[in-house]
């Protein structure tokens, strides 16, 4: 969106919101220029009464002055930590309105302070407002800014801070005498009142409204910001706003009249639970992002910028004499010009490039400033200060405020912003409290410390912080190789969408693309994924997980058949995944492998034996038993698949390719290949008799097909993965059920919960099939209605080869409704598989 397309209303709400960061900068430096007047340090000033009970100045020791300055940062910390939860619960607009109360009241205590205590209290209140503002306003600006321009408008937070600093420097330059310093402090309250009035005509962030479930109101609000003729559909799609949640104006009116405000109900149905500060740090997906944002915020303060902003006049007074105040004015003006001029760089060059450039310039400037002060070279010091501030404006000024909204999802952005700004305020407190002491002891050498810190943060950001330029959401930023797969210049993505089945990456929120469709297949078809195809392929892990079968046991079933239950452990999670095996010729390699120090009883206890266990059996190995009984060894007859032959190394049956006497592979028909089903855990469908899905029925049907020697002469295996609810977990699945009762299908419910349509991973299944000897060119039959699953199960190098895809037909369809699960919910579930996932098109 070009500047000429920006509406006047957008400029208005942007300006009003930016008054918050302006007041942050105002209060940050309001005591800088008039310090000598306030503390009665100028010889011409007497502690005369300036008005009723108000002294002209207030004598303070350096320690007391440090307390007055640092209480502002303490208030800022309080405001920053509380603002995130406040903005998440009540909205960005209401949170900004609350912060203006502190901006209006705090300066009253400051301007009318008769003593140190009252002034310190006023500074504390102003700090609370400032701390809240720099948390909320960057979020608000990021959510109302046009796509592709978030970096540019995100810089307005820092520009506002710089304008506030310049205002106080100008006021201080002209009003630092007599009691006029009180007027400087009072003007901050006036600006706070102006912002409070201006917010009455502002609107809530449309993205925040959409996240509460009221998509219709969000669309109306965004239309007001962008203009009546603006195309806003793509922007709303980037938010993940589902069309299923839209309610037109007529429906809203009717619902409001009948059942109360639709907005309240929409919030209940559409809002995902926001995370607390501690939950963000414990969250596997957001922990790294939170650390990155915190470290960037610490870099902003420990680079030394506030040593110039807060103490520049007194620091350089001895060196530059009467010109120190003018230099600070020049610094403030330069900061605004450079920040505004460099604002587009974050979108053009990238956030990370700007941060690293900023640290390099500031580190070099710190060295020059240290030399200038130590060697008493005024020109070098002045140039170093101006270069120092310019470097800050390039990246460390504007970029940190926008990172939180780009590195984490909507459920964590409020808490992450509070964490980041809380760290920022702690760092500001440290600089405000200890820089005067360090400067008094070390003089110019203190800037060697800032140079070293800049070098440290340069190295850390280079290694740890990801680039967020061009990324629409946190999923794209956190995805593996996200920086390598950039979008086109305008952020558009061309070509077919990626498959939703991918063991390489399961995103914490919906990728924002629809499930790909597939051509109608026959009921049961041969497949060969080595052939070229136009359908998108899943991104597979370059290296499969490591798996090991811990134990297996014979399980007689209620149908009269037997199966072998295998329990697996792996290198990627702590769950006990299962393999349900039909047929004795399918064996686990890791289970049969000898383990150091184990006895024959140990081997039989964990199931590493051949044949059947019986009382008095002493060996797990067939050959040893035969020798002990005096029975000559005979070669076992070979089956059509993986004939169970004796492995000479351990005397155990193990799978191998069916071969003739001369070792040539014998051709076999697809029906003789073992049948494999990849099944994900479904507690509700398998255990508590749910009629919302047919998962339990599918599991039973798979077992029936594999146990029947006429249908599966080579047996089969059900790989039972602990991936409840398509990988989202039981708790989230129950939430999805509630959303389905509200009118969404299973696909839409997952999207509303910020989950992919299918979050399951199949890398474990591939590794388990290989361990069971079902790998190799001979191949398997895969029982599935999903064509995507074929390539996902085969693995990155086709370690497992699927020769035939066998359809899983619902029993109710095969029997004309006489048998099988019958319910409205399961019909909707199966319809969604057809319409959204394009499964079972050949069966309907």
Report d(CA 1, CA 20) in Å as an integer.
25
777 is catalytic: no
Report d(CA 84, CA 95) in Å as an integer.
9
Q: Give one DSSP letter per residue of 735-757, joined into a string.
A: HHHHHHHTT--HHHHHHHTT--S
Report d(CA 397, CA 159) in Å as an integer.
9
CA dist 598 → 254, 617, 727 (Å)? 74, 16, 37
Report whether 674 contacts 642 (CB < 8 A): yes
- In this structure, the number of other CB atoms found within 10 A of the CB of residue 252 comes to 18
Catalytic residue among 123, 603, 726, 760: 760
The two tokens of residue 686 are: 């398998």
Dihedral of the alpha carbons of 646, 649, 654, 657, in degrees to the nearest 10: -80
Q: Which of 417, 82, 136, 85 is nearest to 274 (CA)?
A: 85
677 is catalytic: no
434: which residues sit within 8 A by CB, 6+ positions away?
A: none
H-run or E-run covering 778: strand 776-783
Report whether 583 contacts 707 (CB < 8 A): no
How many Cα atoms within 13 Å fall on the side-chain side of residue 678? 29
Report d(CA 403, CA 602) in Å as an integer.
55
Report whether 79 contacts 127 (CB < 8 A): yes
The sign of the dihedral angle between the CA atoms of 577, 582, 584, 589 is negative
- In this structure, the number of other CB atoms found within 10 A of the CB of residue 354 comes to 25
Report d(CA 772, CA 677) in Å as an integer.
14
Report d(CA 304, CA 312) in Å as an integer.
11
* Largest Cα span, the chain: 118
Q: Which of 559, 496, 582 is nearest to 533 (CA)?
A: 496
Report whether 768 contacts 546 (CB < 8 A): no
Angle subtended at Cα 725 by Cα 724 and Cα 727, rounded to the nearest 5 degrees: 70
Report whether 416 contacts 481 (CB < 8 A): no
Report d(CA 736, CA 510) in Å as an integer.
14
Residues 619-635 as b/e (b if ≥16 CB within 10 A, e otherwise) read bbbbbebbeeeeeeeee
Report d(CA 626, CA 643) in Å as an integer.
20
Residues 477-498 as b/e (b if ≥16 CB within 10 A, e otherwise) read bbbeebbeeeeeeebeeeeeeb
Report whether 37 contacts 46 (CB < 8 A): no
Helix axes 92-111, 62-90, angle to 10 degrees: 160
- Cβ-count burial of 224 within 10 angstroms (0-12 exposed, 13-18 middle, 19+ buried)? middle
**3-state SS of the chain: helix, strand, coil percent to 5?**
55, 10, 35
Report d(CA 272, CA 286) in Å as an integer.
16
Catalytic residue among 411, 758, 775, 788: 758
- Residues serving a catalytic function are 758, 760
């Amino acid at each position: 969106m070009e500047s000429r397309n920006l509406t006047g209303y957008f400029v208005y709400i942007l300006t009003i919101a930016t008054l918050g960061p302006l007041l942050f900068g105002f209060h940050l430096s309001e005591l800088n220029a008039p310090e000598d007047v306030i503390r009665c340090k100028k010889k011409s000033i007497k502690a005369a009464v300036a008005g009723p009970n108000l002294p002209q100045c207030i004598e303070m020791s350096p320690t007391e002055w440090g307390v007055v300055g640092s209480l502002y940062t303490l208030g800022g910390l309080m405001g920053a930590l509380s603002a995130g939860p406040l903005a998440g619960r009540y909205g960005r607009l209401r949170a900004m309105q609350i912060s203006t109360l502190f901006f209006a009241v705090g300066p009253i205590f400051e301007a009318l302070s008769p003593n140190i205590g009252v002034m310190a209290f006023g500074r504390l209140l102003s700090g609370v407002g400032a701390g809240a503002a720099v948390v909320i306003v960057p979020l608000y600006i990021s959510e109302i800014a046009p796509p592709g321009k978030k970096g540019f408008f995100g810089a307005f937070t820092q520009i506002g801070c710089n304008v506030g600093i310049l205002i106080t420097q100008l006021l201080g330059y002209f009003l630092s005498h007599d009691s006029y310093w009180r007027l400087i402090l009072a003007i901050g309250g006036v600006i706070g009142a102006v912002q409070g009035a201006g917010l009455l005509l502002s609107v809530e962030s449309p993205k925040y409204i959409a996240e509460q479930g009221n998509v219709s109101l969000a669309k109306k609000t965004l239309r007001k910001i962008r203009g009546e003729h603006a195309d806003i559909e793509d922007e709303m799609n980037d938010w993940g706003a589902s069309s299923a949640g839209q309610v037109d104006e007529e429906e809203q009116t009717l619902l409001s009249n009948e059942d109360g405000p639709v907005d309240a109900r929409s919030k209940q149905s559409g809002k995902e639970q926001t995370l607390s500060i501690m939950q963000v740090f414990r969250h596997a997906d957001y922990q790294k992002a939170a650390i990155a944002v915190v470290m960037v915020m610490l870099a902003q303060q420990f680079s030394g910028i506030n040593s110039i902003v807060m103490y520049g006049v007194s620091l350089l007074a001895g060196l530059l004499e009467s010109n120190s105040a003018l230099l600070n004015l020049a610094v403030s003006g330069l900061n605004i010009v450079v920040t505004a001029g460099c604002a587009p760089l974050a979108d053009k060059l990238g956030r990370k490039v700007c941060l690293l450039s900023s640290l390099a310039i500031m580190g070099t400037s710190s060295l020059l400033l240290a030399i200038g002060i130590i060697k008493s070279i005024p020109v070098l010091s002045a140039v170093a200060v101006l270069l120092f501030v310019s470097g800050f404006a390039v990246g460390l000024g504007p970029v940190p405020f926008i990172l939180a909204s780009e590195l984490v999802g909507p459920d964590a952005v409020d808490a992450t912003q509070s964490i980041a700004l809380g760290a920022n305020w702690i760092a500001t407190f440290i600089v405000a409290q200890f820089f005067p002491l360090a400067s008094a002891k070390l003089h110019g050498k203190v800037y060697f410390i800032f140079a070293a810190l800049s070098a440290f943060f340069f190295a850390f950001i280079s290694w740890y912080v990801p680039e967020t330029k061009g990324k629409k959401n946190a999923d794209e930023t956190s995805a593996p190789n996200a920086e390598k797969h950039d979008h086109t210049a305008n952020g558009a993505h061309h070509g077919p969408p990626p498959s939703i089945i991918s063991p390489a990456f399961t995103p914490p929120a919906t990728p924002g693309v629809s499930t790909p469709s597939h051509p109608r297949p026959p009921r049961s078809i041969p497949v060969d994924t080595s052939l070229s195809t136009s359908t998108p392929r899943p991104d597979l892990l370059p290296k499969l997980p490591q798996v090991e079968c811990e134990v297996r046991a014979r399980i007689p079933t209620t149908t009269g058949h037997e199966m072998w239950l295998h329990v697996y452990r792996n290198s990627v999670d702590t769950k006990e995944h299962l393999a349900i095996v039909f047929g004795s010729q399918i064996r686990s390699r890791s289970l049969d492998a000898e383990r150091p120090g184990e006895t024959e009883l140990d081997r039989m206890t964990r199931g590493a034996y051949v044949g059947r266990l019986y009382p008095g059996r002493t060996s797990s190995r067939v050959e040893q038993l035969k020798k002990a009984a005096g029975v000559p060894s005979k070669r076992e007859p070979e089956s059509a698949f993986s004939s169970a032959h004796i492995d000479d190394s351990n005397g155990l049956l193990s799978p191998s390719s069916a071969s003739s006497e001369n070792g040539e592979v014998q051709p076999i028909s697809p029906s003789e290949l073992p049948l494999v089903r990849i099944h994900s855990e479904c507690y509700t469908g398998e255990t508590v008799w749910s009629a919302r899905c047919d998962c339990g029925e599918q599991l039973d049907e798979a077992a029936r097909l594999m146990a029947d020697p006429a249908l599966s002469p080579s047996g089969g295996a059900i790989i039972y993965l602990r991936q409840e609810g398509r990988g989202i977990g039981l708790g989230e699945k129950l939430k999805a059920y509630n959303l389905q009762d509200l009118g969404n299908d299973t696909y839409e419910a997952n999207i509303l919960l910020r989950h992919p349509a299918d979050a399951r991973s199949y890398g474990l299944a591939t590794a388990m099939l290989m361990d069971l000897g079902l790998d190799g060119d001979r191949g398997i039959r895969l029982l599935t209605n999903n064509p995507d699953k074929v390539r996902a199960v085969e693995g990155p190098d086709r370690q497992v080869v699927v020769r035939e895809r066998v359809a899983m037909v619902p029993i109710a369809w095969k029997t004309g409704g006489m048998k099988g699960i019958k319910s409205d919910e399961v019909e909707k579930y199966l319809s969604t598989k057809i319409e959204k996932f394009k499964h079972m098109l050949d069966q309907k």
